[in-house]
Amino acid sequence: MGGPLTGIRVIDLTWILSGPYTTMILCDLGAEVIKIERPGTGDIARGNRPFIDGVSSYFLSLNRRKKSVAINLASEEGKEIFLKLVETGNIVVENFVPGTMKKLGLNYEVLKERNPRIIYAAISGYGQNEPYALKSALDVIIQAAGGIMSITGEPGGPPVKPGASLGDIIAGLFTAISILTALEERHRSGEGQMIDISMLDCQVAVQENAFERYFATGEIPRPLGTRHPVFVPFQAFATKDGYIVVAIVGEQWPLFCAAIDRVDLIDDERFKDGYTRTQNYAILEPILTQVMKTRTTQEWAEIFESMEISCGPVNTIDKVVAHPQIQHRNMIIKVPHPKVGEVHLVNTPIKLLRTPSKISRPSPELGEHTEEVLRTLLGFREEEILRLKDAGIIQLVECHP
Amino acid sequence: MGGPLTGIRVIDLTWILSGPYTTMILCDLGAEVIKIERPGTGDIARGNRPFIDGVSSYFLSLNRRKKSVAINLASEEGKEIFLKLVETGNIVVENFVPGTMKKLGLNYEVLKERNPRIIYAAISGYGQNEPYALKSALDVIIQAAGGIMSITGEPGGPPVKPGASLGDIIAGLFTAISILTALEERHRSGEGQMIDISMLDCQVAVQENAFERYFATGEIPRPLGTRHPVFVPFQAFATKDGYIVVAIVGEQWPLFCAAIDRVDLIDDERFKDGYTRTQNYAILEPILTQVMKTRTTQEWAEIFESMEISCGPVNTIDKVVAHPQIQHRNMIIKVPHPKVGEVHLVNTPIKLLRTPSKISRPSPELGEHTEEVLRTLLGFREEEILRLKDAGIIQLVECHP
């Protein structure tokens, strides 16, 4: 299967979303990801709807290509198997409530004793330390706490959450960056280290511009529909039959005025640059929304494109799937799955041209790789594996597909 | 200043947002980022409002700690200086319209001749190749094209853009991951490579769940206000005096019913699990919205917290700045700036505990480091530097602060 991270082994304790998103990225790039799951239930995301032929599409999407090893970490023998895996690995990732690993006796300090080169990444809502470490921190709680819901929505309207679980996913992205940075550092120092990622911190980091505007002006940023805070027009408009997004940059205002047949606006002092158009938006808005409703999306697109004014449609998800460039870049892939037949997945957007990777394996059954990993990686014999299974320390999949 | 990426040198051709966000992350982690700017104007983000004492807060935020070297890349001598820098560097990043570097004669193939180990990352709206490569692709255009605007907003309402420039910023995050992955791969292969990141691909990647739901059910995902597509309740509610976010997971529904004094709902078949509550949301919604308006946010918070039900406020940006955990984790920092005095910046959320980094230098003046870099890195002598300056090939800052 290959990929640029071939040879990197990740011992993956993550569940639901933020952590699995991190390890999905590493796995997509060729790392070997050994997902440690609790016997019986596994990652609770296996129960998230909707299902395809009884398999969670949520789980399918996030866990493609990973190996599932089911171990009971509450048992002493289970802990020892985990520690042996840590000795063979490069990276451990977990997104438990802070303190969980310490309660299990498997915190970083313990792991480091067994493998000083291990890189240990912990993701949590608020970070590993007080005062907020133990507060419950699901995606929507963090998107609300971090401010993005206060700057998303219609002007004057209620708060709106961006339509993706960005509280989790953005933390997953920063965790991947952190892990790869620690790997790079380890080439020089020879040592691993602990990484402490807070979902709340990550929310603040991606809203840097809202914070900078607040620091610069003292004004609290508010929701703006589809508008940009300092460029106008730079938004979606309703047309005769739908919506169109238009973005005017630099010196294009006169061109735009010509396109909408309102050359009288060109010399209007109130609208001479992005700043004054933002200041006088209350006056400009009704003029623009009215004129934009006079033509269809297609008509406007032809006019704007002929003038090299940036514009585009507001695509629904089905339109994105069918988008010529998304197809061209192979962003929607099909992977065979023993139960589901073929599953559609979103491909990685990470295109390293000399070392491409291919997602050729679906998400695993619970415990699908327990036997393989214990046997080949840790050297356990058949009878030992059966004893551990009978003792409820590990779970195997009886019938391999 | 230190940091885990100390010793990594980035030759940075980026401007505005997506590329500068990538190189900001690398720079925050200790990489040396040499920002190549056009003499005279520099990165046009230097002109973005609002200003603090004449300095763009937008530019300040994204370019802290970087070095500015002003070179005219249209001139032959300018190109040669750039190529000499590439010989000394590890990474080149650019976010021009595809084809720009080729027109300059500075495309990857040319750079690779001079330094086969160079990692060259290109960010664009749609990727480097046809059919969409040359289409204009500003943040709002990509957020509309990629689908997130179609799943953000009020149910039945117009499309809404998430309140941050996530089209650019998420591409910046994936580019940082790509570069660090290529660095890791280079330790084994000894070779650099080209990276081709499309902002549109990245939008699709972070909406993986919306795409999976569409593949699983054929239903086109729609905006849901603050709701989650499969968990209910998992959203913001208006209270007597504001909003509160509540997130019910697993078996907490009876607990929640008790909290809102509606134990009669516990045994209602229509609401027995997250799936049926989602299916019957039209019936459940008026019940919940009505009851949630009967108490203040603080009253609800006390009730839910006493029952360990996840809840939290919808914070505005000022409240986030003052948040105890944000303060505790030092997420808002102050950096001295020669013109502005002290600037407030959002700190990096990447906490590598053994190798912390410190953002101790502000964004540079245009050409502030031209002389230093040419002299110390490339060995240019004083008279050569003055000749290049007089010829308009480079720009220096006359008075060093």
What pLDDT, in 10s, does the model give residues A291-321?
Answer: 999 999 999 999 999 999 999 999 999 999 9
Is residue A370 scored above 80 in pLDDT?
Answer: yes
- The neighbour count for residue B239, using CB atoms within 10 Å, is 18
Is residue B398 scored above 80 in pLDDT?
Answer: no
Q: Select from A206, A332, A335 the residue whose CB has the most chain B CBs within 10 Å, as the one to mutate to test that interface.
A: A206
Rounded average pLDDT over A49-54:
92
- What does the alpha-carbon distance between residue B158 and residue A280 come to, in Å, rounded to a whole number? 22
Q: What is the pLDDT of residue A136?
A: 83
Query: Å from A204 to nearest chain B CA?
Result: 7
Rounded average pLDDT over A379-398:
95
Q: What is the pLDDT of residue B13?
A: 98
For the question of an ipTM over 0.95, the answer is yes
DSSP states of A54-68 as a string?
TEEHHHHHHSTT-EE
Q: Cβ contacts (< 8 Å) between B211 and chain A: which residues?
A: 61, 317, 320-321, 332, 344, 346
Triad B268, B269, B275: Cα angle to 5°: 115
Q: Please, which residues bridge with residue A342 across strands?
A: A336
Enumerate the domain spans of chain A: 9-206+333-395, 234-313
- Give residue B391's region: left, alpha or beta (phi > 0; psi -120 to 50): alpha
Is residue A401 scored above 60 in pLDDT?
Answer: no
Q: What is the pLDDT of residue A280?
A: 95
Q: What is the pLDDT of residue B68?
A: 98
What are the tens digits of pLDDT across the range A153-163?
A: 999 999 999 99
CB distance B58–A212 less than 8 Å?
Answer: yes
pLDDT band at B61 (very low <50, low <70, confident <90, very high): very high
Q: Among A12, A139, A168, A390, which one carries the catalytic annotation?
A: A168
Q: Cβ contacts (< 8 Å) between B28 and chain A: which residues?
A: none
DSSP states of B249-290 as a string?
-TT-HHHHHHHTT-GGGTT-GGGSSHHHHHHTHHHHHHHHHH
Partner residue facing B352 (CB), from A182, A230, A317: A182
Rounded average pLDDT over A359-382:
97
- The neighbour count for residue A186, using CB atoms within 10 Å, is 18
State the pTM of this model: 0.98
Rounded average pLDDT over B138-154:
97
CB distance A147–B315 less than 8 Å?
Answer: yes
pLDDT band at A200 (very low <50, low <70, confident <90, very high): very high
Among chain A residues, the shortest Cα distance to B209 is held by A58
CB distance B141–A197 less than 8 Å?
Answer: no
Q: What is the pLDDT of residue B164?
A: 97
- What does the alpha-carbon distance between residue B60 and residue B264 come to, in Å, rounded to a whole number? 56
CB distance B236–A159 less than 8 Å?
Answer: yes
Known catalytic membership, residue A168: yes
Triad B260, B263, B264: Cα angle to 5°: 125
Query: Å from B55 to nearest chain A CA?
Result: 10
In CATH, A9-206+333-395 is 3.40.50.300:
no
Is residue B401 scored above 70 in pLDDT?
Answer: no
- What does the alpha-carbon distance between residue A62 and residue A46 come to, in Å, rounded to a whole number? 10
Q: Cβ contacts (< 8 Å) between A153 and chain B: which residues?
A: 153-154, 160, 163
Triad A44, A49, A53: Cα angle to 5°: 105
- Give residue B297's region: left, alpha or beta (phi > 0; psi -120 to 50): alpha
Q: Cβ contacts (< 8 Å) between A144 and chain B: which residues?
A: 226, 236, 243, 245, 312-315
Is residue A124 scored above 60 in pLDDT?
Answer: yes
Per DSSP, the three-state class of A69 is strand
Q: Is B9-206+333-395's fold the same as B234-313's?
A: no
- What does the alpha-carbon distance between residue A21 and residue A12 come to, in Å, rounded to a whole number? 11
What are the tens digits of pLDDT across the range B186-237?
A: 999 999 999 999 999 999 999 999 999 999 999 999 999 999 988 899 999 9
Query: Å from A302 to nearest chain B CA?
Result: 13
What are the tens digits of pLDDT across the range A4-43?
A: 999 999 999 999 999 999 999 999 999 999 999 999 999 9
CB distance B352–A236 less than 8 Å?
Answer: no
Q: What is the pLDDT of residue B136?
A: 83
Q: What is the pLDDT of residue A62?
A: 98
Q: What is the pLDDT of residue B400?
A: 46
In CATH, B234-313 is 3.30.1540.10:
yes
Query: Å from A188 to nearest chain B CA?
Result: 9
Q: Please, which residues bridge with residue A120 across strands?
A: A92, A194
Per DSSP, the three-state class of A141 is helix
Residue scoring higher pLDDT (A193 or A400): A193
pLDDT band at B399 (very low <50, low <70, confident <90, very high): low
| Mean pLDDT, all residues of chain B | 96
Q: What is the pLDDT of residue A400?
A: 46
